[in-house]
């Protein structure tokens, strides 16, 4: 080999290696970045969302993603895997959310509202986590939750409101909701059935509010609800029972304005620790379910229940902060309060037309603030009231009650007002 040929070979080899190495490095860098392209707040008008610096499709939105109402397809959003802000899907004409198939997480809120043609959530099949709220509101054709099968966690609230065609919860696989759940104004909702593939337990961090869902007759589908702090069920015109609600402990239970509710035996033995409010449930005849309740940090309110005949079921209640028994037309006895010993603030017994006596209050020793016994038309006997401590007492406008001289003498040194009752003469 000549020296000339050897020099040529060395020269070519020396040039070729760096050229190859440089190309490889360039390809590696491009490959490593192509899987993650960061973009700031974006509004989607139908075109592929791209990073303005390198013209690559966005995979991570470092802010909010808003979808303009003019778009007819979400197909060009398929590159997005993560949104580190909120996602707004509002006033769209699309029938599905296909195009968001690769979206896995949303750091803040997902708002899906006022989409008249959306029937389910197919297209969100990879979504696993929402850090903030999930709001599903006023989607007129929405039938169920199919497409959200893999969504397991919501960091804050879940609001499902005013979706007039929503029939059930099929496809609902969420296991952990950080704060409140409100389900209201869904006029076609008939069941909380989640589908045969979703039988796992789920939990709610704070309140469960079920309100104004006209066709719902029971709570079937909530059997796997493991924990919740407060349950509010109100303005449910056709709800007949609480079947499906198998929770054993709550801080607060509020049943209000449920016209057809007649049976709450599904929660038999429940322990309530803060508030019981049973108000304006005109078909409810008994509340014999509170055997596990011994102390209420706040209130016991039994009000405007036309068919309620007794307070049986509250025999184990010893202490409460406030008690109001008002306007229960068929209530004849307070014997269900036989275990009651102490009321921290006020005790009011008002406008119970058929209540004849205070029998059941024999063990009540002290009321820190006021006692009011007023407008109980059939009340004729208050001898069971032997309370030793209170701030003030008013016994008035009980038109059948003759307050005995012995009663006056018992409390002659107390702040007591007795007026406009039946004349004893």
282: its two tokens: 């005109």
Q: What's the mean pLDDT in 342-352? A: 98
Let me know if residue 44 belongs to a domain: no
Higher pLDDT, 136 or 16: 136
Let me know if residue 154 belongs to a domain: no
List phi, psi (to 5°) of 222: -100, 10
Q: What's the mean pLDDT in 174-186? A: 97
Contact 92, 68 (CB under 8 A): no
Percentage of the residues of the chain whose pLDDT score is greater than 70: 91
Band of residue 28 on the pLDDT scale cut at 50, 70, 90:
very low
What CA dihedral angle connects 120, 126, 129 and 132, to 10 degrees? -50
Please report the pLDDT score of residue 424 as a whole number.
82
Q: What's the mean pLDDT in 83-108? A: 96
CA distance 346 to 336: 18
252: its two tokens: 């607060």
Q: In 10 A of CB 425, how many CB atoms?
A: 4
CA distance 361 to 369: 17
CA distance 93 to 95: 7
Give this prediction's pTM.
Answer: 0.89
Total of domains in the chain: 1
pLDDT in tens, 150-169: 999 999 999 999 999 999 99
Please report the pLDDT score of residue 48 as a whole number.
87
pLDDT in tens, 258-288: 999 999 999 999 999 999 999 999 999 999 9
Let me know if residue 103 belongs to a domain: no
Let me know if residue 163 belongs to a domain: no
Please report the pLDDT score of residue 275 as a whole number.
98
Let me know if residue 15 belongs to a domain: yes
Band of residue 361 on the pLDDT scale cut at 50, 70, 90:
very high
Let me know if residue 355 belongs to a domain: no
**Partners of 184 in beta bridges:** 161, 211
208: its two tokens: 């469960």
> Which structural domain, as residue segments, surrounds residue 17?
1-34
Please report the pLDDT score of residue 404 as a whole number.
84
Higher pLDDT, 239 or 197: 239
Is residue 206 predicted with pLDDT exceeding 50? yes
Let me know if residue 227 belongs to a domain: no
Let me know if residue 30 belongs to a domain: yes
Q: What is the DSSP code string of 278-332?
A: EE--TT----TT-TT--EEEEEEEEE--TT----TT-TT--EEEEEEEE--TT--
Percentage of the residues of the chain whose pLDDT score is greater than 90: 81
Please report the pLDDT score of residue 405 as a whole number.
82
Q: In 10 A of CB 248, how many CB atoms?
A: 11
Contact 122, 150 (CB under 8 A): no
């Amino acid at each position: 080999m000549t020296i000339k040929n050897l020099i040529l070979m060395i020269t070519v080899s020396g040039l070729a290696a760096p050229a190859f190495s440089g190309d490889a490095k360039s390809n590696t860098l491009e490959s490593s970045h192509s899987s993650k392209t960061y973009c700031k707040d974006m509004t989607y008008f139908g075109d592929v969302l791209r990073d303005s610096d390198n013209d690559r499709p966005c995979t991570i939105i470092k802010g909010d993603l808003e979808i303009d109402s003019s778009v007819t397809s979400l197909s060009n959003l398929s590159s997005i895997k993560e949104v580190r802000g909120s996602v707004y899907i509002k006033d769209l004409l699309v029938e599905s959310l296909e195009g968001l198939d690769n979206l896995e997480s949303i750091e803040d809120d997902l708002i899906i509202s006022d989409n008249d043609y959306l029937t389910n959530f197919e297209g969100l099949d990879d979504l696993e986590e929402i850090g903030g709220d999930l709001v599903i509101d006023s989607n007129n054709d929405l039938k169920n939750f199919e497409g959200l099968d893999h969504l397991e966690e919501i960091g804050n609230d879940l609001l499902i409101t005013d979706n007039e065609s929503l029939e059930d919860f099929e496809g609902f696989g969420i296991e952990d909701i950080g704060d409140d759940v409100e389900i209201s104004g869904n006029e076609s909702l008939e069941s909380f059935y989640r589908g045969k593939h979703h039988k796992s337990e789920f939990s709610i961090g704070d309140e469960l509010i079920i309100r104004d869902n006209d066709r719902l007759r029971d709570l079937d589908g909530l059997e796997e609800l493991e924990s919740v702090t407060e349950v509010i069920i109100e303005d449910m015109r056709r709800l007949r029972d609480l079947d499906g609600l198998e929770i054993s402990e709550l801080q607060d239970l509020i049943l209000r304005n449920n016209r057809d509710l007649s049976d709450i035996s599904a929660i038999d033995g429940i322990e309530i620790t803060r508030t019981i409010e049973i108000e304006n449930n005109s078909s409810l005849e008994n509340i014999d379910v509170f055997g596990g309740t011994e102390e209420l940090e706040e209130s016991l309110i039994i009000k405007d229940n036309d068919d309620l005949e007794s307070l049986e079921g509250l025999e184990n209640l010893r202490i409460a902060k406030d008690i109001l028994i008002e306007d229960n037309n068929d209530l004849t006895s307070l014997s269900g309060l036989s275990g009651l010993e102490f009321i921290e603030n006020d005790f009011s017994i008002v406008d119970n037309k058929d209540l004849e006596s205070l029998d059941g209050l024999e063990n009540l020793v002290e009321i820190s603030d006021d006692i009011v016994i007023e407008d109980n038309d059939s009340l004729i006997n208050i001898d069971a009231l032997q309370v030793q401590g209170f701030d003030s007492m008013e016994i008035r406008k009980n038109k059948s009650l003759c307050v005995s001289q012995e009663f006056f003498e018992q409390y002659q040194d107390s702040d007591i007002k007795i007026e406009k009752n039946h004349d004893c003469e």
